[in-house]
Structure 1
């Protein structure tokens, strides 16, 4: 009887660990869907202050952007384009929040380099990326880059680049997820979706 209980326990632990493992590639992720709620997590600002994500979202409709890090040229192009469209998006009633695994100091460098006015948040532990279903196992050649960008906090994962439009109730209204990190949502589509959801 003891052996059966031990075997049952081992198999339960094995299943639990398998469910906690990250997808191996960007194509295997299972992101949250339209109508689901953004998780209630606490992240860090570029100044190192704690920020409750849902507290900010409850104040204004929000475009939440997930990017890989300030080291990624495709991400920087996207962040700069968001900056160019920010005034129009604000006029349509949406604020912008961009989230990456970068540590606060790296966020500050990106902010200053790209001259951004919107909020950058650090998700170095991956709590939000994992809860959103966007995190996957970083390829070996990326591990030194993400380790440096997160100041050693993240050594294992990358988020798939994604854009979520979120209502003040925290519910996802629209999403654009791109496993191919070289392709991002166009400014035209971003503005069109914002107008449609206004």
Structure 2
């Protein structure tokens, strides 16, 4: 009898743990980090498949940290190009741009070359960073072939909600813009205005 109760208790614990690890079903159900909270220190991969420490990069200067869905997403490509056009002004304001997606390094390289980007693209194919900042959700079935191809088969289950954080060199979030409707992104004008206001 005691053994039966113990097994029952263990099964309830494992069910509770797995439900806590489950991603939100909808992009509107996410619980992102808030202004004042800190971006976690994780390792991501560069376009050259080299592991980089996010905190080391952020520690160099204020950062525009962008999360996008992948190089397969036309709305993301428009946003990445717009960031490229705004980069000179953001650099003059003392910022750097880092864009993160679930794409594998080789696919980041394709996006980098196609859009002729100067800023840093990083791979979060396992979703560790997207999940840690609270912007990952369960990818709808129709997107699974795209995310699987983009991540080289590593990601088959999640998408990040398009997000822009402005973080200081300590990794603290000073501004955030989160768009559950992936068709709408922050305008370059608003991003530059926010960056200026934080100087």
Residue matched to 1:108: 109
Residue matched to 2:45: 44
Q: Deviations over 1:90-144 (max 9, x none)?
A: 1111100000000001100000011000000000000000101111111111001
Question: Gaps spanning 5+ residues in structure 1: where?
Answer: none
Deviation of 1:8 (Å): 1.2
Residue matched to 1:81: 82
Q: Secondary structure at the match of 1:23?
A: coil
Deviation of 1:87 (Å): 0.7
Residue matched to 2:144: 143
Residue matched to 1:190: 191
Paired residues in the alignment total: 198
Residue matched to 1:35: 36
**So what's the TM-score if we normalise by structure 2?**
0.98
Deviation of 1:188 (Å): 0.8
**So what's the TM-score if we normalise by structure 1?**
0.99
Deviation of 1:53 (Å): 0.3
Residue matched to 2:124: 123
Aligned partners of 1:61, 1:21: CA distance in 2, in Å?
32
Deviation of 1:9 (Å): 1.1
The answer to whether 1:56 aligns with 2:46 is no
Residue matched to 1:68: 69
- The CA RMSD over aligned residues, in Å, is 0.6
Q: Secondary structure at the match of 2:137?
A: strand
Deviation of 1:2 (Å): 1.9
Aligned partners of 1:61, 1:159: CA distance in 2, in Å?
22
Residue matched to 1:175: 176
Question: Gaps spanning 5+ residues in structure 2: where?
Answer: none
Residue matched to 2:133: 132
Q: Secondary structure at the match of 1:153?
A: coil
- Pairwise mapping of residues 2-21 of structure 1 onto structure 2 (< 5 A)? 2-21=3-22
Deviation of 1:7 (Å): 1.3
Aligned partners of 2:168, 2:10: CA distance in 1, in Å?
42
Runs of 4+ in 1 over 6 A off after TM superposition: none
Q: Secondary structure at the match of 1:65?
A: strand
Deviation of 1:13 (Å): 0.8
